[in-house]
Amino acid sequence: MKYTTPYIAPTLTVDAVIFQLIDSALNVLLIRRPNEPFKDSWALPGGYNPVGETTVDALTRIIKEKTGVVIDTDLRYIEQLYTFDTVARDPRGHAVSVTYTGYGREITPATDDAIAFFPVSRLPDLAYDHAEIVKYAHERLISKLSYTNAVFAFLPPTFTLAELQSAYEAIFGHELDKRNFRKKFLSLNLIHETTEMKRTGAHRPARLYEFNTQTLESLPRSFD
């Protein structure tokens, strides 16, 4: 380094794209900004990452503070997404954001009008470059679903094959053939039958299944 001026770091921030399924639709967690800039716009939850704290630790602390969601227990999967760093993305000054994406089920944020899940198909205008970040996270999620068992993070401990297929359809954004879906998914050996059935209406009950593992694994061949 040959600086003649002292080194000054950009601001470091963290943001999270937290997905879950609600009523068979993919939703993302947003907060309404209480302050300028972008006051009253919806935005991804996030905040400042100070020296001495890892991005995951900062994110965990901030998401808890701002939304009531506890990353370690409410999310069943989290991964780093991308680092966004265009100088002008924050009007207050150069801020580099390390973004994460997480998946869960039955995530219940603090009760507050300024905290809500929105279907990704019907997002409001978002602050900063957050629309771009959500789009990137959704693409990553689609891709992840096609070569890993990541769908486990969206489903309850036991689930029917119809629920499993519905999760794929909600995230992929298109329908799948029932027979082919079942044949292919069962051949991956990611799930096994339980002895339980799910009874819902005046019709035949559905077999409940569960995942062999709740940790991310790569598939032997891809899925779509």
Partner DNA sequence: TATACTTAATGTATGAAATACACTACACCG
Partner DNA sequence: CGGTGTAGTGTATTTCATACATTAAGTATA
Closer CB to DNA, 39 or 178, in the complex: 178
Alpha-carbon distance of 194 to 185, in angstroms, equals: 16
CB atoms within 10 A of CB 80: 13
Binder of residue 182, out of DNA, a copy of itself, none (CB less than 5 to 8 A by kind): DNA
| The only residue of 127, 133, 161, 171 in contact with DNA, by rule CB under 7 A | 161
Taking the C-alpha atoms of residue 146 and residue 130, their distance in angstroms, rounded to an integer, is 24
Residue 86 or 108 with smaller CB distance to a copy of itself: 86
Which position among 2, 122, 174, 179 is part of the footprint of a copy of itself (CB under 8 A)? 2
Per-residue binder mask for DNA (CB under 7 A), 176-205, x = binder: -xxxx-xxx--------------xxxxxxx
Cis status of the peptide bond prior to 37, with omega within 30 of 0: yes
Query: How far apart, in Å, are the Cα atoms of 194 and each of 5, 158, 202, 214?
Result: 66, 8, 22, 16
Residues 95-154 that bind a copy of itself (CB under 8 A): 96, 98
Binding to a copy of itself (CB under 8 A) within 51-70 occurs at: 51-55, 65
Phi/psi region, residue 180 (left: phi>0; alpha: psi -120 to 50; beta: rest), is alpha
Q: Does 174 bind DNA (CB under 7 A)?
A: no
Binding site for DNA (CB under 7 A): 160-162, 177-180, 182-184, 199-207, 221, 224
